[in-house]
Structure 1
Amino acid sequence: MATIKIKQIKSKIGAPADQKRTLAALGLHKISQVVEKEDSPSLRGMIRKVHHLVTVID
């Protein structure tokens, strides 16, 4: 299965608690941190929830 790289581009300070938990579930803790995950519909939903805090790297 394909993988995607996700990079945190903005701080989670001031974000609602559910968005903070979503970032933690993605494995993101610091700005500019990059994680590589298996692509799945549930992962895409998590990215959509915090789309303003992260970016997908090609």
Structure 2
Amino acid sequence: MAAFKKPGRTIRDRKPQAKKAAAEARAEAAALKAASGNTSTKRIKRVKPVLTGPTITVTQVRSEIGNKPKNRATLRALGLRRIGHTNTLPDRPEIRGMLQRVPHLIEIKEGK
């Protein structure tokens, strides 16, 4: 016995409506963007904060490969991504604690 389909719209019938709705949403978003005056598509560059007080310069000297995920996350939090990458950080207790977790992967130089 053949299976009977329910009468009504099929997926094919709904596709053009979905495409039309998506196109309208894109047009509405573009209109809002143009109305706000921001038509730039370039990414905004992050401005580094000016560090006042004592600082520490940290350089990654060994790879994070083979280390525990918590140590890898600590390197990322310190702003280090690859060997040779350097970051200047404020000399605060929370930063000192992070440095103590990964001393075998980094080199520390005292700043001002």
Unpaired runs of 5+ residues, structure 1, are none
Instruction: Count residues in correspondence.
Output: 58
Q: Deviations over 1:11-50 (max 9, x none)?
A: 0000000000000000000101110001101100000000
Q: Find runs of 4+ consecutive structure 1 residues off by over 4 angstroms.
A: none
Q: Over aligned residue pairs, what C-alpha RMSD do you find? A: 0.7
Larger radius of gyration between Structure 1 and Structure 2? 2
TM-score, normalised by the number of residues in structure 2: 0.51
Instruction: Select 1:44's aligned residue among 96, 101, 106.
Output: 96
- C-alpha displacement at 1:57, in angstroms? 2.0
Question: Equivalent residue for 2:58?
Answer: 6
Higher helix share: 2
Q: 2:83 aligns with which of 31, 34, 57?
A: 31
| TM-score using structure 1 length | 0.96
Alignment-derived partner of residue 16 in structure 1:
68
Unmatched runs of 5 consecutive residues or more in structure 2? 1-52
